[in-house]
Amino acid sequence: EPEVTQTPSHQVTQMGQEVILRCVPISNHLYFYWYRQILGQKVEFLVSFYNNEISEKSEIFDDQFSVERPDGSNFTLKIRSTKLEDSAMYFCASRASFGPGTRLTVT
């Protein structure tokens, strides 16, 4: 059964640095999503992506964030200048299937 995959599993970065989180969603799905989960808190919607453009974004998804589908398989989330409060698990999803997540630690 097709699965959503994500890399890396854990990323440590310094405050102010740029990070790119990568996902390979399920190929025949139309919508792709990024969610985040701060430790001990609920899973929060960040952005949905359809037909190579942002379909909807939350208040969390400010100008520091961007998403891209650079080729036919990868889907990326970029954080331009990371802050301490960006430390969280980031999940990619397509339809109702979630990837294993990337744990981002900002120091």
Partner 1 sequence: EDQVTQSPEALRLQEGESSSLNCSYTVSGLRGLFWYRQDPGKGPEFLFTLYSAGEEKEKERLKATLTKKESFLHITAPKPEDSATYLCAVQAGQGGSNYKLTFGKGTLLTVNP
Q: Residue 100, interface with partner 1 (CB under 8 A)?
A: yes
Six-digit token pair at 67?
């998403």
Where in 59-88 is the site for partner 1 (CB under 8 A)? none
Site pattern 15..34 for partner 1 (x: CB under 8 A) = --------------xxx-x-
**Structure tokens given for 65:** 């964030």
Give the largest Cα separation in the chain, rounded. Answer: 39
Q: What span, in angstroms and rounded, lies between the C-alpha atoms of 35 and 88? A: 10
Position 50 contacts partner 1 (CB under 8 A) = yes
Backbone φ and ψ of 61, nearest 5°: -80, 80
| Spatial contact of 19 and 78, defined as CB atoms under 8 Å apart | yes
In the list 8, 18, 55, 73, the residue contacting partner 1 (rule: CB under 8 A) is 55
Which residues of the shown chain bind partner 1 in the complex (CB under 8 A)? 4, 29-31, 33, 35, 41-45, 48, 50, 55-56, 89, 91, 93, 95-101, 103
